[in-house]
Amino acid sequence: SAASDVYKRQCQLRVTPSGGGTHQVTIPGGCMDGKKLRYTGLGQPGRNGGKNGDLLVTVRVQKLEKVTP
């Protein structure tokens, strides 16, 4: 269902971009699967001393199977 394709609560994740380094980012509640988020200044270093680019994150929501003891 469409409801299972939405992450309902805000969370914080550590991401490792392809250029290296690690960043902690906040994923807002209500994000749908496939949503693209932009984090300004967390991307790769700019050329010739320019400012860092943006980090782009694609949200992937997975429905977890119910775990029983």
At residue 1, the pLDDT reads: 43
Asked if 59 contacts 7 with a C-beta cutoff of 8 angstroms, the reply is yes
Instruction: Report, as an integer, the average pLDDT of 45-56.
Output: 90
Instruction: Report, as an integer, the average pLDDT of 7-22.
Output: 83
At residue 7, the pLDDT reads: 66
Instruction: Report, as an integer, the average pLDDT of 3-20.
Output: 76
Instruction: Report, as an integer, the average pLDDT of 56-61.
Output: 88
Give pTM, 2 decimals. Answer: 0.71
Asked if 24 contacts 16 with a C-beta cutoff of 8 angstroms, the reply is no
